[in-house]
């Protein structure tokens, strides 16, 4: 199993997408039959801080802070401590996928920690992002619009990388976008991620997590959209991206005037409603968002097209201008 993992990263088949898919399929079968994780995914020597007290939470995990090799790390513990086969299989898939991602806009995966919470599923360990989420960063520093649009461009670059790798993020929103020590974006929380042609196979409660405010209409009611099942896709990522752009421009969640998420789902699914354009957002920026959240998932922009439109509209200034003003 370890040989398969290493052969997808180095050697003559590294970078071969066809070999990677076959190796990944074989890895999954080996995991299903043995219940084991490749030791190359293990991380040892993680030390919990704050007496093991929880410091935050994400869409699918509780967050703890620790140290590994003298560096601060985030320890993400799946909320269910029941080590059942489907949850373990889902974790294996996500860890194997994330471990092979390498991009400056993606939060790095350090490994799986089996020791900190032995009665739970293994914890996902990532670098600790001291600057918090993009929403906290913008609020704390009162960034000018040019700097905000640089961050929006970086988010889209990260998503473009994922989609180029045939990976669906599954939960794009402000709280899952972190800011690193150099004030760059890092996309995080891949608990909903899956290869686009395998999303259906991830059939656990983990996959149906996420917020209704960022969810595309076909996720609320697949049958109404002509689909035969719930499935997260690149198109649903694009819908969420449009909602996230609005969230970051305004500092408010989508449909902030609608208190109940169930009502939001009804609005977008059955009435094709979308948020109203705030006066501070220009028409061309609003058009960019409208192209992302078209009702018909087949008519939405691709991430490459969104990226091109952003570049044409001169998104992106010197990243150094995004530094903390405190």
Token representation of residue 28:
């999954």
Nearest to 61 by CA among 35, 45, 79, 41: 79
Residues whose CB is less than 8 angstroms from the CB of residue 282 and which lie 6 or more positions away in sequence, other chains included: none
DSSP track, 65-80:
EEEETTEEEEEEEES-
Residues whose CB is less than 8 angstroms from the CB of residue 111 and which lie 6 or more positions away in sequence, other chains included: 41, 42, 43, 99, 125
User: What span, in angstroms and rounded, lies between the C-alpha atoms of 183 and 185?
Assistant: 7
User: What span, in angstroms and rounded, lies between the C-alpha atoms of 205 and 277?
Assistant: 34
Nearest to 65 by CA among 78, 52, 77: 52
Beta strands in 49-192 (DSSP E): 56-57, 61-68, 71-78, 111-113, 123-127, 167-168, 177-179, 185-187
What are the backbone angles phi and psi of residue 167, rounded to the nearest 5°? -110, 130
Contact 212, 265 (CB under 8 A): yes
What are the backbone angles phi and psi of residue 266, rounded to the nearest 5°? -65, -45
Please indicate if the annotation marks 76 as binding a ligand. yes
10 Å Cβ neighbour count for 283? 9
What are the backbone angles phi and psi of residue 200, rounded to the nearest 5°? -60, -35
The whole-angstrom distance between residue 251's C-alpha and the CA centroid of its chain comes to 19
Q: Helix (H, G, I), strand (E, B), or coil: what is residue 241?
A: helix
Sequence ranges of the binding site for ATP? 76
Which residues line the annotated binding site?
76
């Amino acid at each position: 199993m370890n040989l398969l993992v290493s052969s997808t990263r180095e050697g003559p088949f590294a970078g071969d997408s066809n070999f990677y898919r076959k190796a990944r399929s074989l890895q999954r079968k080996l995991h299903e039959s043995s219940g084991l994780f490749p030791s190359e995914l293990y991380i040892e020597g993680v030390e919990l801080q704050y007496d093991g007290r929880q410091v935050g939470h994400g869409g699918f995990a509780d967050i703890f802070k620790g140290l590994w090799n003298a560096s601060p790390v985030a320890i993400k513990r799946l909320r269910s401590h029941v080590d059942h086969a489907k949850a373990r299989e889902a974790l294996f898939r996500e860890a194997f996928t994330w471990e092979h991602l390498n991009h400056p806009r993606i939060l790095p995966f350090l490994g799986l920690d089996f020791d900190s919470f032995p009665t739970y599923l293994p914890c996902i360990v990532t670098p600790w992002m001291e600057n918090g989420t993009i929403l906290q960063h913008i609020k704390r520093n009162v960034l000018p619009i040019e700097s905000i649009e640089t961050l929006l461009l970086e988010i889209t670059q990260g998503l473009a990388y994922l989609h180029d790798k045939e990976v669906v993020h599954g939960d794009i929103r402000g709280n899952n976008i972190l800011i690193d020590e150099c004030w760059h974006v890092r996309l995080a929380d891949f608990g909903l991620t899956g290869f686009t042609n395998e999303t259906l196979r991830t059939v656990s409660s983990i996959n149906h997590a996420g917020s209704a405010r960022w969810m595309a209409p076909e996720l609320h009611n697949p049958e109404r959209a002509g689909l035969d099942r719930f499935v997260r896709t690149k198109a649903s990522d694009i819908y969420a991206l449009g909602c996230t752009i609005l969230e970051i421009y305004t500092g408010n969640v989508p449909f902030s005037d609608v208190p109940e998420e169930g009502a939001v789902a009804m609005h977008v699914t059955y009435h094709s409603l979308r948020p109203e354009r705030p006066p501070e957002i220009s028409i061309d920026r609003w058009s960019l968002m409208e192209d992302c959240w078209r009702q018909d998932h087949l008519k939405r922009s691709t991430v490459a097209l969104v990226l091109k439109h952003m570049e044409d509209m001169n998104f992106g200034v010197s990243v150094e201008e995004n530094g903390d003003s405190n």
